[in-house]
Amino acid sequence: MFGVPRNRFLIKTFSCVNYIHFSTMGRDYYEILEINRNATDADIKKAYRRLALKLHPTSNREPGNYERFRQLGEAFHVLSDLGKKATYDKFGEDGLKCGIPTEFAKGGAWSLKYAYHNNPEKTFKEFFGSDNPFSDFYISDLPLQFGGLTLGEEKIKDDPIERDLHLSLDDLFHGCTKKIKISRKVMNDNGCTSSIRDKILTATVKPGWKEGTRITFPKEGDQGPNNIAADIVFIVRQKPHAVFKRLDNDLIYHAVVSLEMALTGFSVEVETLDGRLINIPFNEIVHPSYKKVVPGEGMPLPHNPSQKGDLIFTFNVHFPEKLSAESKLLIKQALHY
């Protein structure tokens, strides 16, 4: 019937049937993958991913490790295939590799014997899609960037993500709180896929902070299974002010005055950043390089906000475009020593 003596066929049938149904010998593929027998397909894949990266010869050169890596590949090769897994669950490793009788199959033919190809690197490559599991690939249509690490490397922290935070001079004088909405990639609970989620960051601005001050939110960048999330850094940028110009902790007030005022005196009324009106008299002659310093009316000191810098007045003297002869004579007489 099968090209062999009938007695030989009966002996093979008898020995294999008894061996398959009653033998408990053979390796435990579930134990090799460190999972239980109720594990789902996702559990099997997750376990293989973790152990394959751990045991791959590139990252683990311990004696005997390659055999563990080979057994891992074989265990996954069987349990990730529904047909092989069903045979293994019912008949064990020996039944899987010996072949089992199909009880109701035509002619009582034997199933094919299973033999692993003994190339765990091939299994590894088929699973990850590459010899390098950290290259870009897609899971559930969602691109997931692994950062290009090679096996055996430790996680590397991504470079800081820097963004400008534009603040008014009033914000920097009084201090303020800014809410900043960010969108970032966050790992899902399965440790393999990610999703985009929004988060609100709260930046507390202290009185007196200067241009260039850095506000750091540690590890708030994109998450990935093989990287340490980057810090997000906001850098203070000061918006122009309509009245004052800032110089370190001092405020500069620039005024335009007539020649008459520069020579005869005047006063300037200024509203400070904290809402007070101050009136500053100028009785000196205002010359081109003239400055007047009003102490304690500048910006709060960053490390001691109760102390302030100075308010400095500078001027542009507006000269008349022309003078009559009579006016010139009067000016000469007035300036004559």
Distance CA 31, CA 46 (A): 14
**CATH code of 223's domain:** 2.60.260.20
In the chain, the percentage of residues whose pLDDT exceeds 90 is 47
Comparing C-alpha atoms, which of 133, 163, 160 is closest to residue 147? Answer: 133
Residue 150 lies in a domain: no
Q: Is residue 16 assigned to a domain?
A: yes
Same domain flag for 137 and 166? no
User: Is 155 part of a structural domain of the chain?
Assistant: no
Which distant-in-sequence residues (6+ apart) come within 8 Å of 53 by Cβ? 59, 133, 151
| Long-range CB contacts for residues 268-271, cutoff 8 Å, separation at least 24 | 268/313, 270/243, 270/311, 271/243
Residue 230 lies in a domain: yes
**Who contacts 20 (Cβ-Cβ below 8 Å, separation ≥6)?**
91, 92, 94, 95, 98, 100
pLDDT for 189-211, tens place per residue? 777 778 888 999 999 999 999 99
Mean pLDDT of the chain: 81
In the chain, what are the helix, strand and coil shares in percent, each to the nearest 5?
Answer: 30, 30, 40
**In terms of pLDDT, which residue wins out, 116 or 61?**
116
Same-domain pairing of 25 and 121: yes
> For position 153, what pLDDT does the model report?
53
* 130-164 pLDDT, tens digit each: 555 544 333 333 333 333 444 445 678 888 999 99
By residue range, what is the domain housing residue 212? Answer: 160-238
Residues 303 and 329 in one domain: yes
pTM: 0.52
Q: What is the pLDDT of residue 33?
A: 94
Task: Look at residue 81 and tell me whether its pLDDT is greater than 50.
Answer: yes
Last residue in a domain, options 238, 256, 284: 238
Number of domains present in the structure of the chain: 3
Q: Residue 240 gets which letter from DSSP?
A: P
| Rg from Cα positions in the chain | 41
Q: Do residue 234 and residue 248 come from a single domain?
A: no
The continuous run of DSSP H or E covering 165 comes out as strand 161-167
Among residues 184, 203, 238, the one where a domain terminates is: 238
Q: Is residue 153 part of a domain?
A: no
- 95-112 as b/e: b if 16+ CB within 10 A: bbbbbbeeeeeeeeebbe
Clarify whether residues 18 and 129 are in a common domain: yes
pLDDT in tens, 309-330: 999 999 999 888 888 888 888 8
Q: Are residues 174 and 223 in the same domain?
A: yes
Same domain, 214 and 169: yes
Determine the pLDDT at residue 337.
60
Residues 181 and 307 in one domain: no
Return the residue matching tokens 């500069």.
Answer: 252
Could you tell me if 314 and 228 lie in one domain?
A: no
CATH number at residue 30: 1.10.287.110
Same domain, yes or no: 59 and 13: yes
Residue where a domain stops, chosen among 144, 179, 213: 144
